């Protein structure tokens, strides 16, 4: 591959991989909040684009809006052969997750908070955008695999729970389906790499688990992301 793009939501999620790859900052894009970095692995260009700070609220621009915009701008500018939506996520004890596990996406990307009870729109809301097959990668790098499910909320309510059970979601986060939507439109293969910061079915509050484990999970993510990038850079999608 000549170019792999990694899109990420939070600065703290990105900082270990930026350091590990020795990535150099790129110029800002007018009007856009993104922070861009470039690194090289063998002959492959690695673009890391972080959603950046929300100019109104001063926090990282997490969630689907900026994720879609970021994916689109990066796709247009750099024409990557592969897009990786990387970051942190929630998992479930019942589905075998442990804090710090790194999952790679499986099968499809879905939304669990777009409930539209009108014929035809129900499926549109869920999305089901294809994930690039990652079986060989997961086996080689010893990564767990699972369906990634996206919403714009950190917590989950009863409706979310029902939809996640229906779609088979195993990894819960806030950007991947939006990135996969853009990649589906633009014909770019996409995978997610997500490190678990919190267990949704644990008694401790999600936000507390997230804060306690963000740094460790982001370091685990960086370690695996380098391996994933090296694995992919040396191969074609096929």
Which single residue is written with the structure tokens 């035809």?
120
How do 44-50 and 35-41 pair as beta strands?
Answer: antiparallel
Interaction between residue 175 and ligand ADE (CB under 6 A): no
Q: Which of residues 67-106 bind ligand ADE (CB under 6 A)?
A: 88-90
Question: What is the number of other CB atoms lying within 10 angstroms of the CB of residue 42?
Answer: 9
Q: Which of residues 133-172 bind ligand ADE (CB under 6 A)?
A: 154, 172
Distance CA 72, CA 178 (A): 10
Interaction between residue 66 and ligand ADE (CB under 6 A): no
Whichever of 203 and 238 has its CB closer to ligand ADE, that residue is 203
Annotated catalytic residue within 173, 198, 219, 223:
198
Interaction between residue 206 and ligand ADE (CB under 6 A): yes
Whichever of 44 and 148 has its CB closer to ligand ADE, that residue is 148
Going from the C-alpha of 213 to that of each of 59, 105, 209, 234, the distances in angstroms are 19, 21, 6, 32
Min. distance of Cβ 193 from ligand ADE in angstroms? Answer: 13
* Catalytic residue flag (residue 156): no
Give the residue closest to ligand ADE by C-beta. Answer: 90
Whichever of 44 and 61 has its CB closer to ligand ADE, that residue is 61
Interaction between residue 113 and ligand ADE (CB under 6 A): no
* Catalytic residue flag (residue 113): no
Interaction between residue 173 and ligand ADE (CB under 6 A): yes
Distance CA 55, CA 77 (A): 23
Annotated catalytic residue within 13, 101, 106, 156:
13
Specify the DSSP class assigned to residue 105.
E
Q: Which of 148, 174, 193, 229 binds ligand ADE (CB under 6 A)?
A: 174
Distance CA 90, CA 113 (A): 15
- 193 Cβ neighbours under 8 A, 6+ residues apart: 84, 85, 86, 102, 103, 104, 105, 143, 221, 224, 225, 228
Contacts with ligand ADE by CB under 6 A lie at: 88-90, 154, 172-174, 197-198, 200, 206, 210
Active-site residue list? 13, 198
């Amino acid at each position: 591959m000549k170019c792999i793009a990694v899109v990420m939501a939070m600065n703290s999620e990105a900082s270990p991989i930026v350091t590990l790859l020795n990535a150099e900052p790129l110029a800002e894009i007018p009007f856009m909040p993104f922070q861009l970095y470039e690194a090289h692995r063998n002959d492959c260009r690695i673009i890391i684009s972080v959603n950046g700070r929300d100019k109104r609220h001063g926090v990282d621009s997490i969630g689907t809006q900026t994720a879609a915009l970021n994916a689109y701008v990066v796709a247009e500018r750099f024409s990557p052969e592969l897009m990786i939506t990387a970051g942190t996520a929630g998992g479930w004890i019942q589905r075998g997750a442990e804090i710090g596990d790194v999952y790679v996406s499986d099968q499809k990307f879905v939304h669990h908070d777009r409930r539209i009870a009108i014929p035809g729109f129900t499926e549109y809301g869920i999305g089901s955008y294809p994930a690039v097959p990652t079986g060989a990668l997961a086996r080689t790098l010893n990564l767990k695999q699972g369906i990634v499910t996206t919403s714009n909320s950190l917590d989950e309510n009863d409706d979310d729970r029902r939809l996640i059970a229906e779609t088979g979601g195993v990894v819960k986060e806030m950007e991947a389906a939006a990135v996969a939507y853009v990649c589906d439109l633009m014909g770019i293969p996409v995978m997610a790499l997500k490190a678990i910061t919190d267990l949704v079915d644990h008694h401790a509050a999600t936000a507390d688990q997230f804060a306690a484990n963000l740094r460790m999970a982001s370091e685990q993510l960086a370690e695996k992301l380098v391996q994933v990038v090296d694995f992919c850079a040396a191969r074609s999608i096929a």
